[in-house]
Amino acid sequence: MKILHDLTLNELKSEMESLALKMPRYRAEQIFEWLTNYASFEEMTNIPIELRETLINNYIAKPVQIEKELISKDGTRKFLFSLSDGNTVEGVLMSYKYGNTICISTQCGCRMGCAFCATGIDGLARNLTAGEMLAEVLAVNKHIGGSKADRKITNIVLMGCGEPLDNYDNVIKFIKLISDKNGLNISQRNISLSTCGLADKIKKLADENLGITLTISLHASTDEQRKKIMKVAGAYSLKELFFAIKYYFEKTKRRIVFEYIELDMNTNPEDAKRIKELCKGLSYHFNLIPLNSTPKTNEIPALKPATKQKQSEFWENLKEQNISATTRRTLGSDIDGACGQLRRSTLNSKA
């Protein structure tokens, strides 16, 4: 069964024509509108019943279902989504004064194997299609009372399960679908993509001319440190990574955001100096993140967290170097807040 959310409006028009039903082209527009409102085929009341039946028999209208919802004390909501083949992924909704940001998944699992991350533990099950990513956003938009006309989701971060640049073509199509004026029409400026640093794909992304923000999971200031916790550091050195980041910056002029887990090994005064040197020529910001512990994190010496004292000294060191940095609130830490943890705890309880 095909997922209709995978299609652009023009593709949907051709698809409907291929059904050889005598159907005026505006039907595709009506269906596209219903899909954007995350309606089921049964709900598409202005579509003739005969066509609705053909759709029911051949296509999936809702490729993502909200299987579980956990609401944190701070209001952050975490979703476990089930996909039509039974796989699950996670999403997180964060509400701010200016709007609602949804963090969505791009893959079931991940093959990058970062030592600190729960998503990567079992490797990659499969990529999400563009339509499944779109459906994560549309399902939650509807769930919180939004629609196409009254959009409740304002910002999107690709920071849930998976490495977005390892599912490149589907992610690019998703960004085009979600920012399409016929769809939810979310500005590309309000979309961030977080990557562990696939340098060749970062360069390719720069050439797409999208207005999105690039976020880099850096977590280290030397190759030696990085290799201890991120397999991808063996494939791309920091030199290659920063060459690609600078290319992205030159092309887009968008401020680069870095994610940096504060560990004992990467928060020394020399780290702040090295960061300054690496980022020369960029406009950038650092998000300092406390390590969320997973079953594996306690076993790896390189993942010893920085003490509170060390964190505040590092903060001073960054300030001295004029590096803009904020410590990220640990949103929803009472609800398996970190990437991949809800999915894993559900997998474990099912096992």
Residue 105 CB, nearest approach to ligand SF4 (Å): 9
- H helices, E strands: number in the chain: 12, 14
Distance CA 281, CA 219 (A): 20
Q: At what angle do helices 199-206 and 168-178 cross, to 10 degrees?
A: 30
Binding mask 302-341 for ligand SF4 (x = CB under 6 A): -------------------------------------x--
Among 28, 184, 263, 289, binds ligand SAH (CB under 6 A): 289
The number of angstroms, rounded, from the C-alpha of 93 to the middle of its chain's C-alpha atoms is 12
Cross-strand pairs, 153: 100
**DSSP character for 158?**
E
Catalytic residues: 90, 339
Options 119, 179, 292, 317; binder of ligand SF4; rule CB under 6 A: 119
Judged by beta carbon, residue 93 or residue 339, the one nearer ligand SF4 is 339
Near ligand SAH by CB under 6 A: residue from 337, 339, 342, 344: 339
285 touches 325 (CB < 8 A): yes
First to last CA, the chain: 28
Q: 64-71 and 77-83 as β-strands: parallel, antiparallel, unpaired?
A: antiparallel
Candidates 331, 289, 290, 351; CA nearest to 91 is 331
CA distance 69 to 336: 11
Does 259 sit near ligand SAH (CB under 6 A)?
A: yes
In degrees, rounded to 5, the angle at the alpha carbon of residue 189 between the alpha carbons of residues 188 and 191 is 65
**3-state DSSP call for residue 272?**
helix
DSSP state of 305: B
Which residue, 118 or 210, is less far from ligand SAH as judged by CB?
118
Region 50-79 residues binding ligand SAH, contact defined as CB under 6 A: none
120 binds ligand SF4 (CB under 6 A): yes
Q: Using the rule CB under 6 A, which residue among 155, 194, 213, 221 binds ligand SAH?
A: 194
91 binds ligand SF4 (CB under 6 A): no
**217 touches ligand SAH by CB under 6 A:** yes
**Side-chain half-sphere CA neighbours of 6 within 13 A:** 11
120 binds, among ligand SF4, ligand SAH, none (CB under 5 to 8 A by kind): ligand SF4
**One symbol per residue from 293 to 312: x for binding ligand SAH (CB under 6 A), - otherwise; what is it?**
-x------------------
**Side-chain half-sphere of 253: how many Cα atoms within 13 Å?**
0
Selection from ligand SF4, ligand SAH, none that 172 binds (CB < 5 to 8 A by kind) is none
Residue numbers 179-238 binding ligand SF4 by CB under 6 A: 196, 217
Least spacing, CB of residue 1 vs ligand SF4, in Å: 28
Distance CA(314)–CA(231), nearest Å, equals 25
Question: Which range binds ligand SF4 by CB under 6 A, 89-97, 112-120, 208-216, 251-259?
Answer: 112-120
Task: Tell me which residues touch ligand SF4 (CB under 6 A).
Answer: 110, 112-114, 117, 119-120, 162-163, 196, 217, 339
Task: Tell me which residues touch ligand SAH (CB under 6 A).
Answer: 116-117, 159, 163, 194-196, 217, 259, 261, 289, 291-292, 294, 338-339
